Amino acid sequence: MSGFEDKTGNLISIVFFSALTFLLFISFLYYENLSSLSLTFLFLISLVGLAFLAVSLLTDQKELKIIFICIFIVSYIFLFASLLTVALSGYKKYSFFKSLFYFLILLAGSLAVAFLFVLNYSDDYEFYKSGAHQADAGVILGAAVWGGNRPSPVLKERINKGYEVYSKGIVPKLVITGGGSPNEMTEAAVSKDVLIKYGVNPDDLISENSSNSTIEQIHFVRDTLYKSKNWSKVILISDNFHLMRASEISKFNNIDADCISSDKALSIEGTLNFCLKESLALIIFWMAGI
- Pick 84 or 27 by higher pLDDT: 84
Residues 87, 143, single domain; the answer is no
Residue 175 is given by DSSP the state E
Distance CA 125, CA 235 (A): 10
pLDDT in tens, 90-104: 766 778 889 999 999
pLDDT in tens, 67-81: 988 898 898 889 888
Range(s) of the domain holding residue 60: 10-119
Q: Does residue 183 have a pLDDT over 90? A: no
pLDDT, mean of residues 215-232: 94
- Pick 10 or 118 by higher pLDDT: 118
Residues 77, 158, single domain; the answer is no
Residues 105, 151, single domain; the answer is no
Task: Calculate the alpha carbon distances from 81 to 37, 62, 110, 151, 269 in Å.
Answer: 17, 28, 13, 45, 32
Helix, strand, or coil (residue 198): helix
| pLDDT > 90 in the chain, percent | 55
Residues 183, 249, single domain; the answer is yes
Residues 132, 115, single domain; the answer is no
Residues 100, 133, single domain; the answer is no
Q: Which amino acid, one-letter code, is at 84? A: L
pLDDT, mean of residues 176-185: 86
Residue 277 located in a structural domain: no
Question: Is the distance from CB of 107 to CB of 77 less than 8 angstroms?
Answer: yes
Number of domains, the chain: 2
The phi and psi torsions of 210 (rounded to 5 degrees) equal -125, -5
pLDDT, mean of residues 20-48: 72
The phi and psi torsions of 146 (rounded to 5 degrees) equal -95, 170
Residues 154, 197, single domain; the answer is yes
* Cβ atoms within 10 Å, residue 98: 17
On the 0-12 / 13-18 / 19+ scale of CB atoms within 10 A, 209 is middle
Residue 110 located in a structural domain: yes
Residue 290 located in a structural domain: no
Task: Calculate the alpha carbon distances from 158 to 6, 119, 243, 265, 274 in Å.
Answer: 30, 18, 12, 12, 16
Predicted confidence at residue 4, as pLDDT, reads 43
Residue 282 located in a structural domain: no
| pLDDT > 70 in the chain, percent | 88
Residues 95, 168, single domain; the answer is no
Sign of CA dihedral 141, 144, 148, 150: negative
Residues 148, 44, single domain; the answer is no
Residues 6+ away with beta carbon under 8 Å from 178: 141, 142, 143, 155, 186, 187, 188, 191, 208, 209, 211, 217
Residues 6+ away with beta carbon under 8 Å from 281: 245
Given 102, 119, 136, which residue is the final one in a domain?
A: 119
Distance CA 19, CA 261 (A): 40
Q: Tell me whether strands 145-146 and 174-177 are parallel, antiparallel or unpaired.
A: unpaired
Residue 211 is given by DSSP the state -
| Lowest mean pLDDT, pick from 40-49, 249-258, 277-286 | 40-49
Q: Which amino acid, one-letter code, is at 154? A: V
Given 119, 153, 185, which residue is the final one in a domain?
A: 119
Distance CA 271, CA 265 (A): 9
Residue 223 is given by DSSP the state I
Residues 99, 164, single domain; the answer is no
Given 119, 143, 177, which residue is the final one in a domain?
A: 119
Task: Calculate the alpha carbon distances from 109 to 48, 104, 270, 283 in Å.
Answer: 23, 8, 22, 12
Question: Is the distance from CB of 209 to CB of 188 less than 8 angstroms?
Answer: yes
Residue 271 located in a structural domain: no
CATH number, position 151: 3.40.50.620
Residues 187, 145, single domain; the answer is yes
Please report how the helices 10-30 and 268-288 are oriented relative to each other, as an axis angle in degrees rounded to 10. Answer: 70
Q: Does residue 9 have a pLDDT over 80? A: no
Residues 242, 257, single domain; the answer is yes
Residue 5 located in a structural domain: no
Residue 288 located in a structural domain: no
Predicted confidence at residue 265, as pLDDT, reads 87
> Whole-prediction pTM value?
0.84
